[in-house]
Structure 1
Amino acid sequence: MSHATSAAHSEARAFRLSMAANLLMGAAGVITAVLSNSQAILVDGLFSLVGFVAGYFALRIRKRVDAIPDRHRPWGYAADEAIFTTFRALSLLGVVIFAILGAATRIYAYLMGKPIPEVQMGPVIIYFLGISATCLALWAFHYMAWRKGGKVSGMLRIEASSAAFDGAVTMVAGIGLIGVYYLRDSVLAPITPIGDSLIVMLLCGFAITTYWTSFTSGLAELAGATAPPSEVVKARRALRGVMADWPGEVIDFALSKLGRSYQVAIYLTPARALTGTEVDQLTHQATRALAPVLDRADVFVIISDHGRHLPGPGQPASDRPG
C-alpha cells in the first residue's frame, strides 16, 4: 500500500471515528443538560452534534478531494475542502451565538427577579469526566492521522483542533460549575444561580476568536487570496535554481492555497520561441522543485510580457498597475 493510499485510509478512519464519538457525546450532552438544567452542557452537546454532521460531510469530501479535473470541475475538487473548513467554522459560530443569546436571556431573567433552575451536580461530574477523556482520545487520533498524511489535510487539522477545543471547554466548564456549586455559601452566593450562564458567556468569548480565525482563513482561500508569506518564500527559494536555467526571464509569480492544494502561476518572458513540449517540460521541472515544500502544487507556466497585469489598449507596459 502506497503512502498516499495509507494516508487516505487513515483519514477516512479518523472521520468515521469522529462521527461515532461526536454522536455519542452530543446525545450525552443533550440528555445530561435536561437532567442537570445546565446550559453549559447543552452548548457542549451542540458542539458535538455539529461535529457529527461535519464528520459525515468530511467523509464524503475525502472520497473526491484528490480526483483529477473533469468537465464538471475543470480546476479539480480541492475547493471542496476549503468550503468544508469555512462552513464548519461558520456553523460553530452559529452555535456560539445561540449559546450567548441563551445565557444572556437567563442572566436577564435572573436580574428581573425570576427564579432560575438550580444545576444538579450529580450528572454533571460524570458527564465532564467521560467527555473530557473522549475528546482527548479523539484529538490524539486526529492529530496522528494528520501527521501520517503529511500535514496537508485541512479537514483533519480543523477536526483535531475542534476536538482539543471541545475537550478544553468541557474541562473548564466542569471546573467552573463545580467551583460555583461548592462556593455557593461564600461571597459567590449572589451569582450562584447564574454561574452556569456566566461560564457559557466566558467560554463563548474564547470560542468566537478561534472559530472566526478558521472562518476567515477558509474564506480567504475561497477568494483566491495569496498564500501565507512563509509559504510564498519557501516556494520562491525552491524554484530559484530551476528558473535560473530557463530560456527567458520570470517576470511575475503568484501562489494561492485552496484546501490542501496550491495554485502556482509563473509568468515567463521567453528569450526565444518555445514549443508546447518545452513549456510542459518547464512545468514539470517547477512541479518537481516545489514537491519538497508544497506537497500538492498545480503549476501553470504562462508566457507573457507583462505578468498578471495586462496594460490597457495603447498603454505601454511601463504604465501597467502594480
Structure 2
Amino acid sequence: MSNIVREKVSKQLIEKKTLMVGAATNLFMAFAGWLAYYLSNSQALALDGNFSFVAFITVILALRVSAIKLNKSTTFPFGQFAYESLFSMVKGLMIIGMLLMALIVNIERVFHYLAGEPANILDTDVIFIYSVMMVFLCFSLAFYYKRQNKRLSNASTLLLAEYTGVKLDGLMSLGIGITLVSIRFIDIEGYFGFLHYIGDALLIIALVFLFGKEPLTLVRHSFIELAGGTLQNTKQKQHIESIIAKHLSEDGLLVDSYISKTGSCYLVVAYISITKLETIDGKAITATKAAIEAELNQHYPHSMLELSLK
C-alpha cells in the first residue's frame, strides 16, 4: 500500500471515529432535552432535544457518506465526493426548516397568551441543570469536531457541517440557560411576570433571528461546491495557491489558477504560459507537476492537479 493510499485510509478512519462519537453524544442530548422539557414545561428545551435528534440522524447519514465517498465507478470515476456537499446542503436546509417551524410555533404561543389562554409556569431549576450539562457537551463536541477536522486540513465537509450544527445547539443551550434561569428572580406578579409563562417562546424567536445565518452560509457554500464554483475557504485557497506558486512562479510559468472543492475533493488547475513553456524541457514540467501533486497530497489527500495552457 502506497503512502498516499495509506494516508487517505487513515484520514477516513479519523473522520468515521469522530462521527461515531458525535452520533452517541447527540442521541444522549436528544433524550436529555425531551426529559427536561417534560419536567420543566419549556418549549425551548423541546426544540433543543429535537435539534439534537436531527443531528443524530444526520450523523448516521454522514457515516454512510463517509464510507462510500472514495468508491469509484463508471458514473463517478473520481469518487463520490459530491454526496458530501449534498449532505451538507440538506443538513443546512433541515436546520433552517426546524428553526422556521420553531419560530412559527412560538409566535403562535405568544399570540395565544396575549389572547388570554392559560399557559404553564416554567420550572427553572430543571432548566438550570439541563443547560449547564448541554453547554458543556455541545462545546466539547464542537471543539472535538474542529480539532479532528484540523487533522484533516479542514477538508472534511461532513465534520464542518456537524461542527456548525452542534455549535449552534450549544449557543442555543447557553442562551436558554442564561435567560430562563434569570426569570426565577423576576416577580411573577410584577410587570415582567409574563416571562414565567412565555419567556422561552420569546427567547426562541430571538435565537432564530440571531443564529439563523450559519445554516444559510452552510447551504450557500454547499451549493457553490455542487455547482463547481471556486473554493470559498480563503485560508485554504491561499495555501493551495502558495504551493502552486512555489513550484511554478520562479520560471514565470504560472499565469493564473482555478481551485474548486467538492466535499473533501479538491480540483486544482494551474494555467501556465504558452510562451514560457517553449523554453522549458518537457521532463522538467512533468517533474514539477509531480512535486506539486506530492505536496498537495500531504495536506489534501483527495486532490487532483491539472496543468492548462493559457
> Do the structures match in fold with TM over 0.5?
yes
State the Cα RMSD in Å: 3.0
Larger Rg: 1
- In the alignment, is the contact (CA less than 8 A) between 1:239 and 1:289 conserved in 2? no
Higher RCO by CA contacts (8 Å cutoff, separation 6 or greater): 2
The alignment status of 1:32 with 2:36, answered yes or no, reads yes
Give the aligned partner of residue 185 of structure 2.
Answer: 182
Q: In 1, distance between residues paired with 2:10 and 2:235? A: 29
Give the C-alpha shift of residue 258 in structure 1. Answer: 1.5
The alignment status of 1:43 with 2:19, answered yes or no, reads no
Q: In 2, distance between residues paired with 1:9 and 1:85? A: 19
CA offset digits 1:136-189 (Å, max 9, x no partner) = 332233233223333321221332332233122112201211112331344422
Give the aligned partner of residue 10 of structure 1.
Answer: 14
- Structure 1 14/288 Cα, relative in aligned 2: closer, same or farther at 3 Å? closer
Give the aligned partner of residue 156 of structure 1.
Answer: 159
- In the alignment, is the contact (CA less than 8 A) between 1:4 and 1:149 conserved in 2? no
Structure 1 spans left out of the alignment, 5+ residues: 308-322
Q: Give 3-state SS (helix, strand or coil) of 1:253's partner.
A: strand
Question: For 1:16-165, what aligned pairs fall within 5 Å after superposition?
Answer: 16-67=20-71, 69-165=72-168
Q: Give 3-state SS (helix, strand or coil) of 2:212's partner.
A: helix
Q: Percent identity over the alignment?
A: 23
Q: In 2, distance between residues paired with 1:58 and 1:28? A: 23
Give the aligned partner of residue 202 of structure 1.
Answer: 206
Q: Give 3-state SS (helix, strand or coil) of 1:140's partner.
A: helix
CA offset digits 1:48-95 (Å, max 9, x no partner) = 01110111011111112234x421213422212111211111111111
Deviates more, 1:8-17 or 1:143-152: 143-152
Give the C-alpha shift of residue 245 in structure 1. Answer: 7.6
Q: In 1, distance between residues paired with 2:145 and 2:235? A: 25
Which of residues 259, 275, 294 is equivalent to 2:263?
259
Q: Give 3-state SS (helix, strand or coil) of 1:264's partner.
A: strand
- Structure 1 281/66 Cα, relative in aligned 2: closer, same or farther at 3 Å? farther
Match of 1:197, as an amino acid? Answer: A
Give the C-alpha shift of residue 116 in structure 1. Answer: 1.7
The alignment status of 1:288 with 2:263, answered yes or no, reads no
TM normalised by structure 2 equals 0.84
CA offset digits 1:3-60 (Å, max 9, x no partner) = 5444332321221121112112112212322332211001101110111011101111
- Structure 1 133/236 Cα, relative in aligned 2: closer, same or farther at 3 Å? closer
Count the aligned residue pairs: 302
Structure 2 spans left out of the alignment, 5+ residues: none
- More helix by percentage: 2
Q: Give 3-state SS (helix, strand or coil) of 1:221's partner.
A: helix
Q: In 2, distance between residues paired with 1:289 and 1:5? A: 18
Give the aligned partner of residue 243 of structure 2.
Answer: 238
CA offset digits 1:211-263 (Å, max 9, x no partner) = 111111111111111123554444343223533588x9655532112122211
TM normalised by structure 1 equals 0.81
